[in-house]
Structure 1
Amino acid sequence: MRSLTLSRSFLLRLSLLGIAALFLVAIAISSMSLRTARMDLTADRVYTLTPGTQKIVDGLHKPLTLTLYFSEHATRDLPQLRSYEQRVHEMLREIAVRAHGRIRFRVIDPVPYSDDEDAAESYGLSPATGGSNGERVFFGLVGMGGTGDVPPQAIPFFDPAREAFVEYDIVKLLYELGMPTKPRLGVISTLPVEGNLVIGEPAWTVLRQLDQLADVTTIDPDGLTHIDDAVKVLLLIHPKHLSDDALYAIDQYVLRGGHLVVFVDPDAEMDNSPLVDSHGVVDDHDSDLRRLFEAWGVEYDPTKVVLDRSAALSIELNGSSLAHPAMLGVGPQDLNHEDVVTASLQRVNFSTAGFFELAPDTKARLVPLVQTSDEAEVVSAQRVRDAASDPSTLLDNYAPTHERYVLAARLRDTFHSAFPEREEKGHLSQAAAPGEVVLVGDTDLLSDRLWIDVQPLLGQQQLTPFANNGDFVANIVDNLGGSTALLSIRGRVNSQRPFTKVRALQAAADRKFLVKKRELENELYETQRRLAELQPAKNSPAAATATVEQRREVEQYLQRKLAIGKELRDVQHQLNAEIDALGLRLKFINIVLVPGIVALIGLIYGWRRTRRSRRVV
């Protein structure tokens, strides 16, 4: 029996040594061959890079350095920002791993009065206030090319409000580092967006702003037969009287994968063409792209203007201020915060804008960027023009349709040609892949008067924006001017996962509370009204002649008033009762039940093993 015992002990030791050796071999192999292996078990794949990100990272040819500046000490009392930093840190690390050595990633804590703090500011990072002991908080990213031939690019501050677009912002920075040349922007316009040098009229501010983002090229629509593929984004502003050749050139540009932004308008107030020309032709200053819109499945009426009394801007007219329902200040509630173009905007101003809808038989998708409220109404453009001297008349007989009208949107589809009869060389009847066109139902939003305040300062013009019109257009161009891989990166879900069960219970409790509260408040109102009738002034003759029954009834109502107040307090206290119960159940499961089950399993396993050992002996 002893020899058998020794033999079992020896085999056990040998087995343990073998397991340890296999473990060390597995660790060595995994460290060499599984460096990039990751497993994302989150419900929304928060830590998995999108295919667009992977394509851009894989396409990097030059070494890059990414430096995350984060004030570790200053944020010790800001748990939400620290949690967001962990999300950004994890994503940057995933990108660096994916790059296989082409990206060097480092993290720096720019402590106050240090060289690191000076470097962060020199790169354009914007510190926030409110850190511990009043310290400034840095939380930004700087990207630099390893060869030094590309100027540094920076994300000044990772705003938690843009968490859904953090991947897009980071990859956009990588794309700009890898592709340092400005994208080429083509502009076809019948409005004087370039100003008039002869009379000293400057270009519109929005165009000067775009000139900083892209290589802007003006394209003459007269004689236009082809649009160069080098044009990354084409702005078509107020298209009027375009020839079929020009429309065909635009049509084929879109089918070849070009990025088009269309600005049409039912009443372009900046259109300086005569209302009636020398030939007696009437020009209502409207614009349309009817043939292409029909081919794309878009419905747009150039004779209709959207009014919205809830978004009406105030204007000064004849020395008085009045609301203009055709001039709209669209706020955050009507901007698409799930789209990178409008996510961070606060207000975009429109004037006499049109709207877009999809044709009933189309397969295209219309993704709204800007919409009206449900207080909007549609009227004829002529009625708006007739009310120019007194816009308040537009509110006469105002009848909202309770629909939200799309003022700007992305149109997505595998587009078909509006010129199927053409037989030119290289003609495309259908796009090879899905594409998108951005539609905007207003051209006046481009003009300075709707978003820029110009004030003279020391002989110069000081431009102060009071709306985000310029940012809106710049974001569109910036977004479309990137690669198709960059366009494919949509907003991600927020990493702050809500307690959905708790929210559901909260909503149900709110509903029950509100119903009960409304019933009790109605009863309380009736009780107080009845008391006011039964309780005349103390010094009045009626007070002296009040009967015993009236006094008793008054006492009953006073008691009921106190009882209603108590019931309201009880309902208020019961509002979170189910949530508190859920919390207790979760605590019991996590603190008592699960550890108890694990301990019980361990005890049973140990007891059975001890019992088996005794049998062997």
Structure 2
Amino acid sequence: MKDMNRQFIKTFVIGSLLLLGIVILINSIFDHINIGRFDLTADKVYRLSPSAGKILADLEAPIEITYYVSSSEKMPTQWKNLERDVIDKLKELKLASRGRLSYTIFDPSAEEEREAYEAARIEQESGQAGLSRKRIAERLYDKGVIPFGVQSTDRDEFAVKRVYSSLVLSYLDRKEEVIEEVRPETFGSLEYEIMSRIFKLVSNRRPKVGFYPGQPEIPPQYRQYYQQTPPDMYEFAVQLLRESGYDVIRTNITREDPIPDGIQTMVIMVDQPLNERQMYEIDKLVHRGVGVILAAQTYNYQISPSREPGHFDVRGMPSRLNINRITMNWGFEFDQAMFMDRSSAYIQIPVYQTRSMGAFQVRQQRMEPVTKPVIIKIQNENINTDLSISNKISELFYMYGGRLMVHHDLIRENELKVQTLFTSSSESWVRQSYGYGPVDTSPADPRDRLGKQPLAVYIEGRFKATFTDSIPPWEPMPGADEESLTMNASGLSELTGESQMNRMIVTGCTNLFKNDVLQSVASHKALLLNSVDVLTLGEDLIHIRSKNISSRKIREISSAGKTFSKAFAVWFTPILFAGFGLWLNMRRKKQ
């Protein structure tokens, strides 16, 4: 018996050692082999896009990514898994690049603590201030890596923690690209952020983007009536693009201020009618294959308190645009009717009230929340999540915007491809324009509602030119002499032959990108940057999905559903046991 026990123990130990050795051997063999990962999330958050692998495989030189992140012990509870998720994403990118991408993890907080300890030790030993070299925090600040505050809730304690979570991309001797804040809520867009910056790094020069309108100017004949220059409504949009690595050149599309040469993308914000020559220059740009982001505002509105307390009047202010002259040949138009939607947002309107204080009359102002169907809010369910342009967008404020009228017969005739970026809700309608004056904002009859209408589209193909006969003359400057007018004469059109393949992003609202909205709503910034990235940096970027985790809300349960749920929870188990008991009893009787 003892010999059998010894033999069993001996066999067990030898088998265990052999099994352990086999596991270690297999692990060492497959350590550097990518056998794939399984992503079971509904949104495929952790799966690398095929286009990203293609872009990385074409890298001509190694690229280094440094992830500056605080240790998980110092992170808030909801941030503790962020470092692991980012490292997993970087590992996949490294494998897809076939060794041309490498990454390093660095904890600046630990380095700051070490520096503080070393400075204190030197000061204690020598009596002099320690560490004359530049501190780690200052060096990182020069790079653009800056710690930021995040809210932390631990038990009954609420605090704001200062943490690092930034990515720095280095390529050859070019200026480093920085993703300043990597957060759990933006992790889904991390792949897109990295790939767009790689595009900028591998390019030999900063991408050049044109922007219309240019700096606002006062016509010479009216300068005596103005005390200051009109406000620049697109100042923040231009600043945002420049901070993102673009060389933005503004233009008013005049003979003195023409569209710059060598641009990859042209951003055109149309708030007023264009002259013939301006439309010709835009037509020529599209004909030559320069990508265009085109936004046009057909209507603005003035909302003010009415004489009836608690009510507000809406007055229309038409822009009287003529851009449809050229867009008709491209397969779409900007509707001239006033567009309204039941899905609306609130804005603050100042209301003034005069009160008597003894012998004095005091005028007070308060802000009143107002919603009207022209203050359109684009909900998440009406945004196309299949394109990276709009996938990470949660909601948009389509202030006073109009609908796009897409002519599908012309689209098919010209072999264009159209994809809708976002639409209105199913309860939208139009009111005919009667110029300046009061606007009826009452809900339309259900029979007059239009359903979901396209508000922004992405179009690919060859766009048909309008000005194929002659070149319209430039608008003469006030006070121009006869010689200048002679030089301004028209000539033969340059828009001959087949147009170049091109892409265009179109929306019926310029207010999306004006200062007041763009500065306060993150989704509008993302829409502008994504649109410029896609048209400027490459075809493959549009296929890289921004994989945000969707928020799936539980639908409201009806009264009948609640009754059924309660009955099921109370009676299902007793009925199941009673049924099983009856079946068992009947079986025994048969036996």
Instruction: Sort the TM-score into its range (normalised by shorter chain).
Output: 0.5 to 0.7
- Look up the match of 1:412: 459
8 Å contact from structure 2 (residues 237, 514) kept in 1: no
- Look up the match of 1:489: 544
- Look up the match of 2:72: 72
Give the 3 Å change call, closer, same or farther, for CA 41–447 of structure 1 in structure 2.
Answer: closer
- Look up the match of 2:330: 296
Match for 1:254: what amino acid? V
Pairwise CA distance, 1:311: 0.7
- Look up the match of 2:36: 39
Q: 2:377 aligns with which of 330, 337, 340?
A: 330
Pairwise CA distance, 1:429: 2.2
- Look up the match of 1:473: 528
Q: Distance in 2 between matches of 1:154 and 1:54?
A: 22
Match for 1:114: what amino acid? E
Q: Following superposition of structure 1 onto structure 2, how do residues 203-222 of structure 1 map, counting pairs within 5 Å? A: 203-204=232-233, 205-209=235-239, 210-213=241-244, 214-222=246-254
Deviations 1:213-237 (A, max 9, x none): 4322233434699966621221222
Pairwise CA distance, 1:355: 0.6
Pairwise CA distance, 1:379: 0.9
Match for 1:306: what amino acid? F
SS of structure 2 residue aligned to 1:145: strand
Give the 3 Å change call, closer, same or farther, for CA 395–28 of structure 1 in structure 2.
Answer: closer
Q: Distance in 2 between matches of 1:265 and 1:100?
A: 48
- Look up the match of 2:178: 153
Pairwise CA distance, 1:475: 4.5
8 Å contact from structure 2 (residues 399, 511) kept in 1: yes
Is 1:170 aligned to residue 194 of structure 2? yes
Q: Distance in 2 between matches of 1:330 and 1:103?
A: 41
SS of structure 2 residue aligned to 1:413: strand
Pairwise CA distance, 1:166: 2.4
Q: Name structure 1 gaps, 5 residues minimum.
A: 1-21, 271-282, 453-463, 521-566, 581-617
8 Å contact from structure 1 (residues 451, 468) kept in 2: no
- Look up the match of 1:442: 509
- Look up the match of 1:429: 498
Q: Distance in 1 between matches of 2:177 and 2:522?
A: 29
- Look up the match of 2:434: 382
Q: Distance in 1 between matches of 2:209 and 2:339?
A: 30
Pairwise CA distance, 1:105: 0.8
8 Å contact from structure 1 (residues 255, 416) kept in 2: yes
Structure ranking higher in helix proportion: 1
Is 1:287 aligned to residue 316 of structure 2? no
Deviations 1:177-196 (A, max 9, x none): 4348542221233xx76355
Pairwise CA distance, 1:465: 3.4
SS of structure 1 residue aligned to 2:299: coil
Is 1:124 aligned to residue 146 of structure 2? yes
Give the 3 Å change call, closer, same or farther, for CA 203–60 of structure 1 in structure 2.
Answer: farther
Deviations 1:450-505 (A, max 9, x none): 538xxxxxxxxxxx737865564345334533333334423347599x9xxxx9xx
Q: Distance in 1 between matches of 2:299 and 2:347?
A: 19
Give the 3 Å change call, closer, same or farther, for CA 576–488 of structure 1 in structure 2.
Answer: farther
Give the 3 Å change call, closer, same or farther, for CA 369–114 of structure 1 in structure 2.
Answer: farther
Q: Distance in 1 between matches of 2:425 and 2:550?
A: 30
SS of structure 2 residue aligned to 1:439: strand
Q: Distance in 1 between matches of 2:230 and 2:148?
A: 35
SS of structure 2 residue aligned to 1:92: helix
SS of structure 2 residue aligned to 1:442: coil
Deviations 1:292-323 (A, max 9, x none): 4333322432x212123441544537748584
Q: Distance in 2 between matches of 1:132 and 1:322?
A: 35
Match for 1:414: what amino acid? G
8 Å contact from structure 2 (residues 252, 258) kept in 1: no
8 Å contact from structure 2 (residues 395, 523) kept in 1: yes
Q: Distance in 1 between matches of 2:184 and 2:381?
A: 21
- Look up the match of 1:55: 55
Pairwise CA distance, 1:149: 4.7
Q: Distance in 2 between matches of 1:46 and 1:568?
A: 35
Give the 3 Å change call, closer, same or farther, for CA 440–483 of structure 1 in structure 2.
Answer: same
Is 1:570 aligned to residue 570 of structure 2? no
Q: Distance in 2 between matches of 1:313 and 1:149?
A: 46
Pairwise CA distance, 1:202: 4.1
Pairwise CA distance, 1:153: 1.2
Q: Distance in 1 between matches of 2:160 and 2:55?
A: 39
Relative to the length of structure 2, the TM-score reads: 0.62
Give the 3 Å change call, closer, same or farther, for CA 202–356 of structure 1 in structure 2.
Answer: closer
Is 1:114 aligned to residue 148 of structure 2? no
Give the 3 Å change call, closer, same or farther, for CA 568–94 of structure 1 in structure 2.
Answer: closer
Give the 3 Å change call, closer, same or farther, for CA 149–418 of structure 1 in structure 2.
Answer: closer
- Look up the match of 2:403: 355
Q: Identity of aligned pairs, percent?
A: 13
- Look up the match of 1:588: none
Q: Distance in 2 between matches of 1:66 and 1:153?
A: 10
Deviations 1:322-350 (A, max 9, x none): 84635415255466373545555566444
Q: Distance in 2 between matches of 1:196 and 1:59?
A: 48
SS of structure 1 residue aligned to 2:430: strand
Pairwise CA distance, 1:262: 0.9
- Give the stretch that moved more between structures: 257-266 or 60-69: 60-69
Give the 3 Å change call, closer, same or farther, for CA 92–318 of structure 1 in structure 2.
Answer: closer
Q: Distance in 2 between matches of 1:151 and 1:115?
A: 26
Match for 1:206: what amino acid? F
Match for 1:108: what amino acid? F
Q: Distance in 1 between matches of 2:343 and 2:573?
A: 35
Pairwise CA distance, 1:260: 0.6
Match for 1:486: what amino acid? L
Pairwise CA distance, 1:128: 2.6
- Look up the match of 1:536: none
Pairwise CA distance, 1:441: 0.7
Deviations 1:540-580 (A, max 9, x none): xxxxxxxxxxxxxxxxxxxxxxxxxxx77324557999xx9
- Look up the match of 2:166: 141
Q: Distance in 1 between matches of 2:524 and 2:24?
A: 61
Pairwise CA distance, 1:92: 0.8
Deviations 1:241-279 (A, max 9, x none): 443x65455345435542211111222579xxxxxxxxx
Q: Name structure 2 gaps, 5 residues minimum.
A: 1-21, 116-135, 303-316, 354-367, 470-491, 577-591
Q: More relative contact order in 1 or in 2 (CA 8 Å, sep 6+)?
A: 2
Q: Distance in 1 between matches of 2:173 and 2:380?
A: 44
Give the 3 Å change call, closer, same or farther, for CA 341–215 of structure 1 in structure 2.
Answer: same
8 Å contact from structure 1 (residues 183, 231) kept in 2: yes
Q: Distance in 2 between matches of 1:304 and 1:353?
A: 11
SS of structure 2 residue aligned to 1:240: coil
8 Å contact from structure 1 (residues 195, 203) kept in 2: no
Q: Distance in 1 between matches of 2:403 and 2:464?
A: 23
Match for 1:438: what amino acid? I
- Give the stretch that moved more between structures: 568-577 or 256-265: 568-577
SS of structure 1 residue aligned to 2:349: strand
- Look up the match of 1:232: 264
Q: Distance in 2 between matches of 1:411 and 1:331?
A: 17
- Look up the match of 1:250: 282
Aligned residues: 461
